[in-house]
Chain A
């Protein structure tokens, strides 16, 4: 049975590490739904959050194969974790759409980060489902462009 899994992977902050990880996924036919990486409090290490899907056997393999990479020091399959995603979105096609967009933004506690001639740029952080419904509500006002970070997640204590 195919399920979605969130992996937290601690890697060396070194050249090519992203290539090694993504190369492993592509050559073994594993799916990457999203991948997020940045330095940790220790500049020598980076943490990746990878969202993938597969059956339990595939996930077992992904975990073990990742651990074989010399740049990877820890792999955790997250079960009880806080998952967040960030989005930047430009929406609106006329000055009249500005007000209803701001109303939606307020409902979601999104922030207006730029005002253009016709539209607005908004930012929002939240669980992926919240981001999805935010995008859904903005659709009628024409979405010009958007970028999502993909999930970054941290297990609870």
Chain B
């Protein structure tokens, strides 16, 4: 046992929890914490971002890429509020994160003091739980509890707010082992698993649909086996890209608003819809009334509140998705649905051929498919939000879990660059590419300096169509082509901008140069960050597209550009 300050206790607890990298930004209320980080700098690497929001996305990206809990530190007031978007992003996608914020000293709380904000009040609806620690004696156990909550069950962000005087006060500290997570026993009853097995055995046309809940290494392993044993086609949500190898013949593409025809066809024809680790987002189900009409829904999820929330389940199994699938496999004999699988998987491609114009002949399809080929499908892909996000999801062939890092639930523009910083810190040996649109890029481009300053070799690919393409697409379809505030045509010189931040930057304007420029970027990214501005026509749309609330079996396949 030793006596130490609250700030040192925080660092000791981080080390105890296996944290070696944190993201953050200093400030008045966290001066003591940063003084400790200075002392502990050989054990905890601190990545300074340009803005707290970038740090929150970096902690998120780190967690998504590694499966470990991401940590972000920010000061009180504006430092804390700048984390809000990042915390909400992590919450919507169930990403384990611990946010540590400073606050004014206890005596100044509630007095509208300088840089005071009620961050626990603000983040209540976007965290799994949050704490304010007013007693240094309770600090260590609160930090431990925060890590436990963030990574147990359905994962998510937890915030710990620590007033400045608590970080200065002294208390006894003793190391404790990490509290093991014990799943709820009763939810794994055998008859519940048995019934699920019977359903699969009875099914003639089963269809496996997986979500973010099984997008982890063990999940991917058992999913692969289940697909074989149940002999079923497999589809994935945006959050689960890569948890099933997309080069495998059973994979039929993404399901939902911008999914494949095969995934939609399987949905309308299957007699058993096996939903694993998914929450049935409105972007996936479209119209709930027409969803999987001929099928019984078998829903496997760790969160009981997801059962019957958006789609009514015929049978449910509550538990960690990988655990449940493993248990199913023990009881499930080999099934044979060769005819059904052949029927669904015979045409599993997206079947959308993008074309550019004479002046701008480069297409996102060519960009992403070339990246896929050049990286051998082995890169971590981060994305911003909008058209570029969807193209990255549609045209890269994801092969392993946690390969696509994207804000699926909250749809946070400006997420990707920060996330790529975290992803690269978590997986330094992998090529990390952030696929951005020019709109999202402008939201948090300040983090380019984080790439160059810390030499984080990420490839920032800005697909520049000079418009907010996804909104423009909706305006074209549903708002009589009133392109209200979506035509950007900004004078930004991307190459000069990148260079100004100390990053090698290139403009890619012709389809013929695509392979050369991307190869060069991948080569550079072995040692340094690189930026590419890829110019494309503004009217290349994301297709197919199911309008919001419509049946996923009736997608728009073509959008006529007549203006």
- Chain A interface residues (CB < 8 Å from chain B): 15-16, 19-20, 23-24, 27, 57, 60-61, 64-65, 67-71
Asked whether B124 is an interface residue with its Cβ less than 8 Å from the other chain, the reply is yes
Cα–Cα, bound, A16→B121 (Å): 8
Q: Are B124 and A64 in contact (CB under 8 A)?
A: no
Cα–Cα, bound, A115→B502 (Å): 82
Contact residues of B between 280 and 324, Cβ < 8 Å to A: 303-305, 307-309
Which of B120, B124, B128, B307 has its CB near the most chain A CB atoms (within 10 A)?
Answer: B124
Asked whether B262 is an interface residue with its Cβ less than 8 Å from the other chain, the reply is no
Contact residues of B between 386 and 427, Cβ < 8 Å to A: none
Partner of A70 from the list B129, B304, B305 (CB cut-off 8 Å) is: B129
Residues of B near A16 (CB, < 8 A) are 120-121, 124
Q: Are A64 and B305 in contact (CB under 8 A)?
A: yes
Q: Are B129 and A65 in contact (CB under 8 A)?
A: no
- Chain B interface residues (CB < 8 Å from chain A): 120-121, 124-125, 128-129, 132, 149, 303-305, 307-309
Q: Are A68 and B308 in contact (CB under 8 A)?
A: no
Residues of B near A27 (CB, < 8 A) are 125
Residues of A near B129 (CB, < 8 A) are 69-71
Chain A residue with minimal CB distance to B124?
A23
Q: Are B305 and A61 in contact (CB under 8 A)?
A: yes
Residues of A near B308 (CB, < 8 A) are 57, 60-61
Q: Are B132 and A15 in contact (CB under 8 A)?
A: yes
Residues of B near A20 (CB, < 8 A) are 124
Q: Are B305 and A65 in contact (CB under 8 A)?
A: yes
Q: Are B121 and A64 in contact (CB under 8 A)?
A: no
Which of A20, A57, A68, A69 has its CB near the most chain B CB atoms (within 10 A)?
Answer: A68
Chain A residue with minimal CB distance to B309?
A61
**B131 CB, min distance to chain A CBs, angstroms:** 9
Partner of B121 from the list A19, A60, A68, A69 (CB cut-off 8 Å) is: A19
Cα–Cα, bound, A16→B127 (Å): 14
| Chain A residues touching B, majority SS | helix
Q: Are A70 and B120 in contact (CB under 8 A)?
A: no
* Given A15-B132, A20-B124, A65-B305, 18 more pairs with CB closer than 8 A: A16-B120, A16-B121, A19-B121, A19-B124, A23-B125, A27-B125, A57-B308, A60-B308, A61-B308, A61-B309, A64-B304, A64-B307, A67-B305, A68-B128, A68-B303, A68-B305, A69-B129, A71-B129
Chain B residue with minimal CB distance to A26?
B125
Residues of A near B125 (CB, < 8 A) are 23-24, 27
Cα–Cα, bound, A69→B125 (Å): 10
**A136 CB, min distance to chain B CBs, angstroms:** 40
Chain A residue with minimal CB distance to B303?
A68
A–B Cβ pairs within 8 angstroms, 7 of them = A19-B121, A24-B125, A61-B305, A68-B128, A68-B303, A70-B129, A70-B149
Complex A-B, nearest 8 residue pairs according to Cβ-Cβ distance, in ascending order: A64-B305, A70-B129, A64-B304, A27-B125, A65-B305, A23-B124, A23-B125, A68-B305
Residues of A near B121 (CB, < 8 A) are 16, 19
Cα–Cα, bound, A57→B307 (Å): 11
Residues of B near A70 (CB, < 8 A) are 128-129, 149
Chain B residue with minimal CB distance to A16?
B120
Residues of A near B304 (CB, < 8 A) are 64, 67
Chain A residue with minimal CB distance to B128?
A70
Residues of B near A71 (CB, < 8 A) are 129
Residues of B near A61 (CB, < 8 A) are 305, 308-309
Chain A residue with minimal CB distance to B125?
A27
**A80 CB, min distance to chain B CBs, angstroms:** 24
Chain B residue with minimal CB distance to A65?
B305
Cα–Cα, bound, A114→B304 (Å): 51
Which of A65, A67, A70 has its CB near the most chain B CB atoms (within 10 A)?
Answer: A70
**B150 CB, min distance to chain A CBs, angstroms:** 11
**B111 CB, min distance to chain A CBs, angstroms:** 17
Residues of B near A60 (CB, < 8 A) are 308
Cα–Cα, bound, A16→B304 (Å): 24
Cα–Cα, bound, A23→B123 (Å): 11
**B109 CB, min distance to chain A CBs, angstroms:** 11
**B409 CB, min distance to chain A CBs, angstroms:** 15
**B329 CB, min distance to chain A CBs, angstroms:** 28
Cα–Cα, bound, A65→B307 (Å): 11
Cα–Cα, bound, A70→B308 (Å): 22
Cα–Cα, bound, A15→B124 (Å): 12
Cα–Cα, bound, A52→B310 (Å): 21
Chain A residue with minimal CB distance to B312?
A57
Cα–Cα, bound, A57→B305 (Å): 11
Residues of B near A65 (CB, < 8 A) are 305
Chain B residue with minimal CB distance to A14?
B131
Chain B residue with minimal CB distance to A66?
B305
Cα–Cα, bound, A46→B39 (Å): 43
Cα–Cα, bound, A19→B118 (Å): 13
Cα–Cα, bound, A7→B304 (Å): 18
Cα–Cα, bound, A27→B132 (Å): 22
Chain B residue with minimal CB distance to A69?
B129
Cα–Cα, bound, A23→B126 (Å): 11
Residues of A near B307 (CB, < 8 A) are 64
Cα–Cα, bound, A67→B304 (Å): 10
Chain A residue with minimal CB distance to B121?
A19
**B166 CB, min distance to chain A CBs, angstroms:** 15
